[in-house]
Chains A and B, each alone.
Chain A
Amino acid sequence: MNVVRSRKRLPYFLVAMAALLAALVVASPAMSQHKAQTLVIWSDHDRLAAVTKVANAWAATHGVSVQVVEKDFGSIRDSLSTVDPTTAPDVIVGAHDWTGQLAASGLVLPLYPSKATLAQFPKYTLNAFSYGTAVKKLYGAPVAVENIGLVVNTKLAKVPTSWANLEQQALAFKKKKSGNLAIAVQQGANGDAYHMYPFFSGLCGYIFGTNRAGNLDPSDIGVANPKFLKNAPLIDKWNKEGLINSAVDSGIAQNAFLKGQSAFWITGPWNSDTLKASGLSFKVVQLPRISCQSVPFLGVQGFLVTKFATQHGVESQARDLVGSYMMTPAAQLALAAANSRFPANTAAGKQVTDPVLAQFGKASVGGVPMPNIPQMNAVWADLGTAWVKSTKGAGATPARASFITAARNIADKIG
């Protein structure tokens, strides 16, 4: 036994040494990683280069280092509530309608930009990022705005002068050839309340009313308000005429417009590159007024400072980058152009030369920011479904009934 033991002593020593060496090699970069004062920013793929450039320009003058991490845009909001605090971001890019959920969970910090800075932004862009049940606060720096509009193929149709004119042109075009669509607006089996919103608002529908303090009131649901219900039979008429068809999904709508099988397409600036590349002659306008003004949902994208910035001891840095530097016209232009959107800053907006973006900007007039309270989660599916049920062609449910059902379901879910 003794002999064996002494012979084995050497390997033991080797094991210990090798293990320690390997461990140190592996562990040393991990240990030194977050000690340095680094600002971590989560950005989506499209904006990665622009964010890196803007953040580095800021960092260079302030003696800070930044680390920009690429994330899938859609997953940023929910990742923030499950992320490990040590590697968590200090600044995130986000959509304004996340504000409610993030603020209600205490994951983002209120921002107080200077008066001079705030004056450079349209009121609605700031409202879009504001949330609070009692005191309303700004939680994000708006950077880019987006909205959908009616894209008209000017070779196939004239820019409609009124709703009746649009209806007449669209139906006439549909009759020309089988396979033609009247208005290409995407829905699919599960609906798309976002793209249907101009029609919804045109028929005087609204999602949430506002209370006396000017905040959105989740107990006032306007999905089946009396004015809208009075106009609802129009939807049944459109369904019968085939003006709108819920079987059209995003692929079919895009395809139809690009192939000249539809003269009208409801879409947003994310397709502006596709439109330009298509070689079609087109113009973007707001959907004509139906019974009320047919306004689109407004989406605002921007940057938010997370509560982790405080934990990491970089709160001042993050506030300066987001609440001051990123709100300047130059930074706004660079950040908004990264995914071909219109900048939120008014001065930056004046410098936009892209005619398509400018047309989308005009189509936004009077638009409604997507509700940013968490209760909006309960709305999307039911509102989309109500449209699908009433515009699926033969066997469709009368719009009055389907929107009343939707309103009841939404109220049940909000509780």
Chain B
Amino acid sequence: MSTTAAPASAPAQATFRPSYLARAIAAFSGWPGLVVKIVFLSVVNALAFWAATVLADRSNWPAFGLLVLSTVLIDVIYLVPRQPGLIPLKFLVPGTVFLVAFQIAPILYTVNVACTNYSTGHIISKAAAITAIKENSLEPAQSGTTYAMAAAHDKNGDLVLILQDQTSGKTYVGTKKGLTPIPRASVTLKAGAIVGAAGYELVPVKDLAAIGQKLTDFRVPLGNDASISPQGFDTAVPLQPTLRYDPKRGVFVRISDGAVFRDNGLGSFVSSSKEELEPGWATHVGFRNFSRAIHDPLIRKPFLRVLIWTFVFAASTVLLSFALGLFLAITLDKPGLRFQRGYRSIMIIPYAIPGFLSLLVWGGLLNDDFGVVNSLFHIHVPWLFDPYWAKVSVILVSTWLTVPYFFLVSMGSLQSIPKELIEAAKVDGGGPIQIFRRVTLPLLLVAVAPLLIASFAFNFNNFNNIYLLTGGGPATNDQPIAGATDILISYTYKLAFATGKGNDYALASSIAIVIFFIVATISGLSFWRTKSLETLR
């Protein structure tokens, strides 16, 4: 609050002593200021330079351009002297940079993902998917044989493969032109591995890595599109493609029956009989995910129930803990109370323990048959196993975690309410309840209302509390995904990661955007309402 020196009780001391803050600010002017500025800007420039090299290396030119432009802008703003037009920017730029980097960019990214089909099976790019489909379509030759292999150079210094069929034991030399038998006796074997071949110079094991890429690309054609390809350094297998890619038409054709697999516009090659080639690729699909959220009964059916419970959970957590926190703050605020500090410290404990820990501990305490709570009170409440009791447990534990926060906030706010106002109310003949309702609470709410809204928004998305205590459970009979205590965010998590075919990041993003709008609307409305409270001042 005040680092200002020179207390009022010592007016005799007339020498001016600036505050530490003022002195700190003064350090930014003159030559020390210049040094500070140079150091900061150097760090910024160095980071930008490093980031630029990385971006250039990955050919991410839009981001590269943005980075260079903003770095130049920052340098200009802070280095060009005495330009009155630039002075306000000096204060605005750092905040704006952080706002863009940590708020706007993630939101844009989420919106972008929400409009794609980014999910298991649709992760890679189309070009990569085509490569992968080609690779997956290779089938080992009918014989099922494999070859022991050694890379070697022939007399001309060309790379060849010395091969031994592991079924028949016959030996060959494989070149880019084809397979030629060589006498079995000319090949030296040791424990099944080829260690020598007459007339060829084997590549030493130590140098194999150096020709790794050449080996990866090496194919010994066998006719009929089949070929022998090296698998590592000592094995090769004959492989036959089952699909052919037609780059002109952009389709895959199955060799056996001529079935055509076309790009279905949703990131997959699909045949006329709905057969799909794996993998697919990530692509933009417009508002498909949003319409899925509306039309898919799996998502739509429990949505309203989950939404209502989310409101109930967030609102009751905030109200209960505020009421309890305020009550405790008033009780412990009584002047002359013994051990006041001790009580206050105890109150902070739930706040001081990491929530992750206490949530897991509560899960154990509330266990149906073996939990401390039931055995201590000799009751048998199905805290976590009954849909209704689980809701009660979740609210109670959340309240337990949130009370200390409101206790602290209320304690601070209470002390800022002028005592004269309360004295005046007493003189006017107000009783304690009347004073609390008409004077203390309204004044308190001016300070606390924004915090109540923030806490509501936080609890609305309080994934940890739900996930660590009940995991959204127990399950209800009416539908498969949402459990009795699932709030929107944990429900979204389950939708995205525990249904159908793996992880659906795109669907999760689209529902996250819906949640964002819900929370933003509520917060906006509430802040607008609390403006009226401020007129009390």
Give A contacts to B, CB under 8 Å.
Answer: 4-5, 8, 11-12, 14-15, 18-20, 22-23, 25-27, 30-31, 37, 61-64, 78, 81, 86, 101, 103-107, 109-117, 132-135, 137, 189-190, 245-249, 251-252, 307, 310, 313-317, 319-321, 323-324, 374-375, 377-378, 380-382, 385, 388-389, 392-393, 395, 405, 408-410, 412-415
C-alpha gap A245/B368 in the complex (Å): 10
- Whether A115 lies near B145 (C-beta < 8 A) is yes
- Whether B500 lies near A415 (C-beta < 8 A) is yes
Q: Which residue of the partner chain A has the closest CB to B50?
A: A27
Question: What residues of B have a CB within 8 angstroms of the CB of A189 in the complex?
Answer: 363, 384-385, 390, 470-471, 473-474
- Whether B369 lies near A111 (C-beta < 8 A) is no
Q: Which residue of the partner chain B has the closest CB to A397?
A: B477
Interface residue B498 (Cβ < 8 Å from any Cβ of A) = yes
Question: What residues of A have a CB within 8 angstroms of the CB of B294 in the complex?
Answer: none
Contacts between chains A and B (CB distance < 8 A), count: 258
Q: Determine how close the nearest CB of chain B comes to the CB of A65; give it in whole angstroms.
A: 9
Given known contacts A103-B278, A377-B497, is B81 in contact with A8 (CB within 8 Å)?
A: yes
Known: A135-B139, A315-B216. 15 other contacts (CB 8 A): A5-B81, A22-B45, A26-B47, A27-B46, A103-B279, A105-B122, A110-B138, A116-B192, A189-B471, A319-B231, A320-B232, A377-B497, A385-B473, A393-B368, A410-B480
Question: What residues of A have a CB within 8 angstroms of the CB of B148 in the complex?
Answer: 114, 116
C-alpha gap A332/B481 in the complex (Å): 40
Question: What residues of A have a CB within 8 angstroms of the CB of B340 in the complex?
Answer: none
- Whether A247 lies near B368 (C-beta < 8 A) is yes
Q: Determine how close the nearest CB of chain A comes to the CB of B64; give it in whole angstroms.
A: 14
- Whether A106 lies near B279 (C-beta < 8 A) is yes
Grouping DSSP codes into helix (H, G, I), strand (E, B) and loop, the A interface class, with mixed when no group exceeds half, is helix
Question: What residues of A have a CB within 8 angstroms of the CB of B192 in the complex?
Answer: 116
Cβ contact of A317, chosen from B145, B209, B368, cutoff 8 A: B209
Interface size, B (range): 35 or more
Interface residue B421 (Cβ < 8 Å from any Cβ of A) = no
Q: Determine how close the nearest CB of chain A comes to the CB of B208; give it in whole angstroms.
A: 6
The 10 residue pairs across chains A and B that have the minimum distance between CB atoms: A409-B480, A320-B232, A106-B279, A23-B49, A19-B45, A106-B132, A22-B46, A319-B232, A316-B212, A23-B46
C-alpha gap A134/B530 in the complex (Å): 62
C-alpha gap A22/B40 in the complex (Å): 11
Q: Which residue of the partner chain A has the closest CB to B475?
A: A385
C-alpha gap A289/B506 in the complex (Å): 45
Q: Determine how close the nearest CB of chain B comes to the CB of A201; give it in whole angstroms.
A: 22
Cβ contact of B502, chosen from A101, A111, A246, A307, cutoff 8 A: A101
27 A-B pairs with C-beta separation under 8 A: A15-B79, A22-B43, A23-B49, A61-B205, A101-B502, A104-B279, A105-B279, A105-B502, A106-B124, A106-B279, A112-B235, A114-B146, A116-B166, A190-B473, A247-B370, A307-B128, A316-B209, A316-B213, A316-B232, A317-B209, A319-B231, A323-B232, A375-B500, A377-B501, A381-B498, A392-B368, A395-B386
- Whether A106 lies near B498 (C-beta < 8 A) is no
